[in-house]
Structure 1
Amino acid sequence: MKIRTTLLTFLLATSSAHAGFSLNSLMDDDGLPVLTSAKKTGIGFASVSVPYVNTVNYFGFIDDKSKPDAVVKGKDAYYLYIWIPAAIDELGVRMISPVGNLAEPEKEDFVQANYGQKVKSDKETWFDTWIRVERMDIVSPDNIKMASKVINILEKDDDSDDTYDEQRHAKYNSLVRIETDLSRPDKALVRGLYRVVFTTYKKGKVEGSFIATLGSNVPGIKIASTLKELNELVNE
């Protein structure tokens, strides 16, 4: 999913006329809040954050049949695996819960098995998202299934989403923007395998629908809930 040029033109025109303009009221082509990068365009008070060139969505649902992948801070946690096909200058990761009526999966989106059936019967249940983004020890797509080791933790967040004025609950959505650092190999966003660990922070247990959105400057990013599924997406 790409942000259209007309949207960028609109942002520039609006920022010139209204200092302090917020992107929270703008939606991308799927009806979701626009995911913006750390980069800004414009001058001074008229500057605005620039949307990522490419975004990828994953629609998921956690219920009592979902087996946790780990325990973090004493709570069940789950994984999303990400394949990034080329070096990038920045990676944005946002998680919103619940999906509710915000969006429906599009053809190019990644969707958990049985998501449609589950969300149809329960659109309101949500969890207070907490995410941690990790880089794993795989740089070749042929070795995705062999992944077992986390090289380092890139970033984590509880409720810093500044792209969506959440009215359904107390703004408990998560967002990180990770910029590459070529002078530090452990912080460089190179081609390879990454993982998002997610759980709940303040509210109960992980249950309900969520949408994870990834933002970058390259196409071809894939996301799945298992290494087997990701391997099939990338290599088959």
Structure 2
Amino acid sequence: MKTKFFALSIILLGSISTIQAQKLKKFGSSIEKQVGPKTIKVPYTDVVSYLGYASPGNEDEVVDGKKFYYIYVWVPAVAPELGVRMMSPVGKTKIKGATSSKAYEENASSSDFFDTYVTLERSDIISKDNISVDAVKSAKWVTLERNDDSSEMPKQPSGNSYNSLLRYKSDTGNPTKALTVGLYRIGFTTYKTGEVKGTFLAEVAAPVKLPGVVMAKTIEDLKKGL
């Protein structure tokens, strides 16, 4: 009996270690490039990271019955593609150069996490001088892409692949869906019915350098970084 218990303990410890050891893979684009005889995926050379904490009652909007939270992103140049990914919880993952919100710093040790669901949206605001709380409320927003579950992301502590990742290529033939200079936002909620609660890492990336990208949870904080 002791032998069986010992063997089971080893299996359980191995499972826990695997979950703890899972790391965020390098964020790559969907754009292909021919290098000699090989075709490779062009890596994202510019990645901006944000650490946050979502809690019930702090949602920005209710959309189709779901409580949505927004992270605003100022994109200062034209991009061929943007990638967005979100992971919850952050756990012990270390992200160099990430913007860390006050809410995250106060709750970094929290074990809470949520089933992430993300959207990438573009507004009709194309000048940072026109960004204000009122302007954002009245702006027209177009959802460019969305994602619920991604097998490219680390599994959550539950063992499910419920973290999210999306890639969106610029549609240059459609002015409303081209990736131009302007104000964007990452919308996030939980796919399942319930509250959004837990730490999260959100990243926006591009295959070209975009000096001056700013990510912030509020318009006020975004303007401070512009």
Same fold at TM > 0.5: yes
Q: Which of 57, 63, 67 is 1:76 aligned to?
A: 67
Deviates more, 1:139-148 or 1:81-90: 139-148
* Cα distance change of structure 1 residues 151 and 76 upon mapping to structure 2, 3 Å threshold: closer
Structure-to-structure mapping, 1:43-192, within 5 angstroms:
47-64=39-56, 67-104=58-95, 106=96, 108-120=97-109, 122=110, 124-145=111-132, 146-147=135-136, 148-162=138-152, 164-166=153-155, 168=157, 169-192=159-182
Q: Does the aligned pair in 1 maintain the 2:89–2:156 contact within 8 Å?
A: no
The letter of the residue matching 1:88 is A
Alpha-carbon distance between aligned partners in 2 of 1:69 and 1:132, rounded to the nearest angstrom: 14
Alpha-carbon distance between aligned partners in 2 of 1:136 and 1:161, rounded to the nearest angstrom: 29
Q: Does the aligned pair in 2 maintain the 1:75–1:205 contact within 8 Å?
A: no
1:190: how far off?
Answer: 0.3
Equivalenced residue count is 199
1:204: how far off?
Answer: 3.2
* 1:198 equivalent in structure 2: 188
- RMSD of aligned alpha carbons: 2.3
Alpha-carbon distance between aligned partners in 2 of 1:219 and 1:33, rounded to the nearest angstrom: 23
The reply to whether residue 224 of structure 1 matches residue 213 of structure 2 is no
Deviation per CA, 1:190-214: give whole Å up to 9, x if none.
Answer: 0000011110002632000000011
Q: Which has the higher contact order (CA 8 A, sep 6+)?
A: 2
Structure 2 stretches lacking a partner, 5+ long: 1-21
Residue 149 of structure 2 aligns to a residue in which SS?
A: coil
Q: Percent identity?
A: 39
Deviation per CA, 1:175-201: give whole Å up to 9, x if none.
Answer: 110111211111110000001111000
Alpha-carbon distance between aligned partners in 1 of 2:195 and 2:34, rounded to the nearest angstrom: 42
**Structure number with bigger Rg:** 2
Deviates more, 1:166-175 or 1:90-99: 166-175
Residue 49 of structure 1 aligns to a residue in which SS?
A: strand
After TM superposition, the runs of 4+ consecutive aligned structure 1 residues lying more than 6 A away are none
The letter of the residue matching 2:113 is W
Structure 1 stretches lacking a partner, 5+ long: 1-26
Normalised TM-score (structure 1)? 0.77
The letter of the residue matching 1:70 is E
1:52: how far off?
Answer: 0.1
* 1:33 equivalent in structure 2: 25
Q: Does the aligned pair in 2 maintain the 1:127–1:204 contact within 8 Å?
A: no
* Cα distance change of structure 1 residues 167 and 133 upon mapping to structure 2, 3 Å threshold: closer
Deviates more, 1:137-146 or 1:196-205: 196-205
